Structure 1
Amino acid sequence: MSVRALVVDPSAAAAVRLAEVADPVPGPGQVLVDVSHASLNYGDLNDARSGRVPVGAVLGSDAAGVVVRAAADGTGPAVGTQVVALTSGAFAERVAIDVGALAEVPHGLAPAHAVALPVAGVAALRSLRAAGLGPDKRVLITGASGGVGRFAVQLAARAGAHVIASVGSTARGKGLVELGADEVLIGLEGLDRSVDVVIDSVGGPQLVEAWNLLAPGGSVQSVGWTSGQPAVFPPYATVGPARSLTSFVIEGAAGADLAVLTDLAARGALTAEIGWQGSWSRFAEAAEALRGRRVPGKAVLNVSRDER
């Protein structure tokens, strides 16, 4: 048997095409999930072109759907459970998923909103945690209008921090005050006080600017590099009171953190904004909108079985 999936193909639009792949065979500690929704991340677009995901392999990390086969070892959710997961090869009609990589979707949380949480939400949660978030901190979030940024704004505000959201334009800053930002800036214009934490997804010259604003003992977490530009530090920029610039990647099972995020979202304490939603057959359109920074929040793909 086979299922449809979005696979890497350098000759296709956005380097991705719909194709038939082998039906997944779950291991003892995996459940089999029929996927209804997937969420597109900026990193997925890079994975499709960088070679990190091989040609012909299934792309994606964020999936939501229903368990159709429970784990053989007796762990994890039962058949019929709605789940959301952070797993490789997520962009397929059916996916085998480690039980530690998923969380049950609470009642009242729509799958389309749950699927917006895995990569972006876990990255925001873990990077803030690693940076030492606290109620007395000044937190700068660059690229604050994107998926990671919007979650980071909300989570930092919930922790009682003073949140400074940096965006590329006035239009991109819409709604961030309502999410908890104390200040919304175009770039870093007007920011003349030091900050304790930086969650940076822009990279390039803005990363250098943010580093220069960091207070002694502060931390920059580099979670992305959407600018595509080099970051050139002037001589002695890294000499002085102790500060840290830390590269960030999601490692290890995300299930526990996903449970935290889905609970917050179900209670209305965390908003997963969907800026684009459509059939996965429109992947190239979604990718173009995401690269063009025309998607506030997340882009969600509907995995349709009616388009064969």
Structure 2
Amino acid sequence: MRALTIDHSAPGHLSLRETPDPAPTPHQALVRIHSFSVNHGEAAFVVPNGEEGTIPGWDAAGVVVRAATDGTGPAAGTPVVTLGPAGAWAELRAVETELMGTAPEGADLGAAGALPVAAGSALRALRRLGPILGRRVLVTGASGGVGRFAVQLAARGGAHVVAATSDTAKGEALTRLGAHEVVAGDALTVIEPVHGVIDVVGGPQLVDAYRALAPHGTLVAVGHSSGVGEEFPFGALFGDGGRHDRSLTTFFLLDDADGLGADLEWLASLVGRGELDPQITFRDDWTRTPDALAALLAREITGKAVLDIPR
């Protein structure tokens, strides 16, 4: 098969090469990949620091060509959306059956391939906030891949969604996705208190978002796109003055895999029915993957970048 492999001597640290087909374990299905999406974390960390010759990639969608031999998972011929720690940027992928969900027949597999990390993280992070119906939920980095899914899913869950973005010119687009308020990322110290926060930025913005939490509120740290650390001033973690019992929790999707296949299937069904917009703003042939990664790092892509593998 052909695959994009880590090659630190090549532009963009990637080369398209012939590689051996994957050998699935009994609990894995073999999937022919039609499309995959790329994420900021892959651009910033995985590709520049990856082991030479390995095949990166978390998100992909395709069709099962060989079902898992242990009898779990979908049958051959089933369209699926898949997640894994590596191996997505290839013509074939061996996937744990618990990390794949069935996509609707006839669905755009590029749209399905945009879901796993971004939409899966948004969905499962929102669940950590508890009931959100009628409550204020802040999403930082709202114009990015995870943020746009979090805005839509929080609105679908009945929350009053506050979308924070570094570019308020994107406010109209975020409002169409379900945001009730759009604020600048550097203005979080003056917003009304919120019940929960989905933070994908980190750094000083996380500190300000934590300050905005109401009593008993929760902040879920999902991403760290700012690339800088957090420094809480003295008193920020005090519980007096109406700041009692606020929590901050970390999150990593691949360590929260129980039932993830069913979630991916549900998310794919929403996209198939037009009820969830994957916000694909870059789509091209997979030979353009280095360009997509560079554009992500330069913040030239908002939403999701999808690459298609020609058949």
Q: State the TM-score, normalizing by the size of structure 1.
A: 0.93
Q: Across the two proteins, how many residue pairs are aligned to each other?
A: 302
1:247 paired residue number: 250
Q: How many angstroms apart in 1 are the aligned matches of 2:182 and 2:293?
A: 26
Q: How many angstroms apart in 1 are the aligned matches of 2:184 and 2:252?
A: 26
Query: How far has the Cα of 1:49 moved from its partner?
Result: 4.9
Q: How many angstroms apart in 2 are the aligned matches of 1:15 and 1:216?
A: 46
Q: How many angstroms apart in 2 are the aligned matches of 1:215 and 1:13?
A: 48
- Of the three residues 104, 116, 119, the one matched with 2:117 is 119
Q: Render the CA deviation track for 1:189-232: whole Å, top value 9, x for unaligned.
A: 27431111111111111111111111111111111111112221
Would you say the 8 A contact 1:66–1:79 is kept in 2?
yes
Change (3 A) 1:249 1:101: same
Aligned-CA RMSD value: 1.6
Q: Check if 1:289 corresponds to 2:287.
A: no
2:209 paired residue number: 210
Letter aligned with residue 117 of structure 1: L
Q: Render the CA deviation track for 1:170-203: whole Å, top value 9, x for unaligned.
A: 3333411111100111214274311111111111
Tell me whether 262-271 or 33-42 shows the greater mean CA deviation.
Answer: 262-271
1:78 paired residue number: 75
Structure 1, gaps ≥5 residues long:
none
Letter aligned with residue 127 of structure 1: A
Would you say the 8 A contact 2:13–2:48 is kept in 1?
no
Change (3 A) 1:50 1:237: farther
2:181 paired residue number: 183
- State the SS of the aligned residue for 1:22: coil
1:62 paired residue number: 59
Percent identity between the two aligned chains: 48
Q: Check if 1:171 corresponds to 2:169.
A: yes
Letter aligned with residue 100 of structure 1: E
Change (3 A) 1:192 1:70: closer
Q: Render the CA deviation track for 1:66-121: whole Å, top value 9, x for unaligned.
A: 11112212222122111111123111110011111111111353111111111101
2:151 paired residue number: 153
Q: Render the CA deviation track for 1:27-49: whole Å, top value 9, x for unaligned.
A: 11211111010010111123325
Letter aligned with residue 96 of structure 2: D
Q: How many angstroms apart in 2 are the aligned matches of 1:55 and 1:290?
A: 22
Tell me whether 250-259 or 96-105 shows the greater mean CA deviation.
Answer: 250-259
Q: How many angstroms apart in 2 are the aligned matches of 1:33 and 1:61?
A: 14
Change (3 A) 1:118 1:153: same
User: What is the correspondence of 1:261-280 to structure 2 with a 5 Å cutoff?
Assistant: 261-280=267-286
Would you say the 8 A contact 2:64–2:78 is kept in 1?
yes
Change (3 A) 1:131 1:14: farther
Would you say the 8 A contact 1:14–1:45 is kept in 2?
no
User: What is the correspondence of 1:44-59 to structure 2 with a 5 Å cutoff?
Assistant: 44-49=42-47, 51=49, 53-59=50-56
Would you say the 8 A contact 1:15–1:48 is kept in 2?
no
Q: How many angstroms apart in 2 are the aligned matches of 1:66 and 1:238?
A: 49
Q: How many angstroms apart in 1 are the aligned matches of 2:61 and 2:288?
A: 18
Q: How many angstroms apart in 1 are the aligned matches of 2:5 and 2:175?
A: 38
Q: Render the CA deviation track for 1:129-184: whole Å, top value 9, x for unaligned.
A: 01224213210001111111111001100111100011111333341111110011
Letter aligned with residue 266 of structure 1: G
Q: State the TM-score, normalizing by the size of structure 2.
A: 0.92
1:300 paired residue number: 306
